[in-house]
Structure 1
């Protein structure tokens, strides 16, 4: 059976984390016994970590990474690195804020043998028009810099073959801020078998988003230089 690693970055998700674990953990049933739900929580100043430790006693296949960088991007990279090194066959990444729906995962899983990467497509977004506009700008920049047409580059709902992730993961610095955007870009640029499939995307279910609009602008400005550097290594 295929080994599935469901991976999530977390930061100050005290209000969401228990519900998220309880809703996503059952997807490990009937998977290979080495499958895991892995959450990276480093830097949280609320009770996120305490709740995760408590949940580990109830859910034996839940693992917590607490030695990563604080930021979202480096946590995602650390999670992918961990899943690859632990022998995952497939890696599924989502976020821990409750905006994605685990009931939509089985359709992705059923298609896994046909594609190297299946990426969520958020045609309707519950997180507001501003963030949807940011995603649109990102996709325009990717087309300009890399010549790729991507409808949604950063959706936190993606099922990828681990061996394909490994091909591109280590091209990015360990502290890179936008790994999912670049991972999607690599898949499309190198013509890996990719599918973009509609998903729902709810408003944040509790707590405050740690990445506000000013921070998005700063990250985006830096991304322009990063894109140029990463493009140099692509043939």
Structure 2
């Protein structure tokens, strides 16, 4: 039984899903994978079911949801699924190879070997490590992260990164039912909540490569949610509304 599960949300990823699964399973470290599919009409789920039945039973899993319900809710669904089992390290990763599976062991090592609670695959911790993105999108993403740091005080350079490893304890402590954002701002909210609750976060430098196959799910409304959501996060912290689950209060890791 692996101690690690990689969560991969999907919507219309038939061009990528088999290749990303095989790339993760080719790693020397044993990872399990949970695909959370939001009713992809292109047959993404069927590809995963075939891989489970033919090759990867016991290592590959799928949860199917009806309709496109948002990235944040997909990850919350996956977090709860993983917490109902014995995984100690729970990862977020995209299906489109913008996150390199070869970096998974490095994120794992930051938490398992170095003792951090959250490790973030960071595009900006050593400059700007982005390949094949339009310059406008690079600038928007980079300055969005700077904006988040200014407003919240969160000392993470890539606050919107979606390549993340969480220790089990972090997700057990965060009240997942009170995570509010569904899109781009979800990634900010999770990191900020972990920070407010006293967990240690490490950024691990990675190179982000824009997808080659399939269609990006990014749109202007996602950026709008992030812009205004950050202000709301600061307000919620000031009013004491960012909290751990009641049964976890008093036993949070407060190391700095």
Q: How far apart are the structure 2 equivalents of 1:128 and 1:216?
A: 17
Report the equivalent of 1:99.
98
Displacement after TM superposition at 1:145 (Å): 3.6
Q: How far apart are the structure 1 equivalents of 2:12 and 2:154?
A: 34
Q: How far apart are the structure 1 equivalents of 2:173 and 2:162?
A: 20
Q: How far apart are the structure 1 equivalents of 2:2 and 2:49?
A: 27
Q: For 1:22-81, what per-residue CA distance to the aligned partner results, in whole angstroms no more than 9, with x for missing partners?
A: 101234x654xxx63101001312121111111112211111110365321211111112
List gaps (5 residues or longer) in structure 2: 244-256
List gaps (5 residues or longer) in structure 1: none
Report the equivalent of 1:207.
214
- Count how many residue pairs are aligned between Structure 1 and Structure 2: 230
Aligned pair partner of 1:125 in 122, 127, 130 = 130
**Higher normalized contact order (CA 8 Å, seq sep 6+, divided by chain length):** 1
Displacement after TM superposition at 1:219 (Å): 2.8
Report the equivalent of 1:36.
32
Q: TM-score, with normalisation over the residues of structure 2?
A: 0.79
Tell me if structure 2 keeps the 8 A contact 1:169–1:183.
no
Secondary structure of 1:208's partner? Answer: coil
Task: Flag the 1:134–1:190 CA change in 2: closer, same or farther, 3 A.
Answer: farther
Report the equivalent of 1:59.
56
Task: Flag the 1:132–1:77 CA change in 2: closer, same or farther, 3 A.
Answer: farther
Report the equivalent of 2:169.
163
Extract structure 1 runs of 4+ deviating beyond 6 A.
Answer: none
Task: Flag the 1:107–1:149 CA change in 2: closer, same or farther, 3 A.
Answer: closer
Q: TM-score, with normalisation over the residues of structure 1?
A: 0.85
Report the equivalent of 1:22.
22
Q: How far apart are the structure 2 equivalents of 1:208 and 1:108?
A: 27
Q: Identify the range of structure 1 (178-187 vs 9-18) with the bigger mean alpha-carbon deviation.
A: 178-187
Q: For 1:68-120, what per-residue CA distance to the aligned partner results, in whole angstroms no more than 9, with x for missing partners?
A: 65321211111112112222111111111111111122222233232111111
Counting only pairs closer than 5 Å after superposition, residues 47-86 of structure 1 correspond to structure 2 as 47-57=43-53, 58-60=55-57, 61-67=59-65, 70-86=69-85
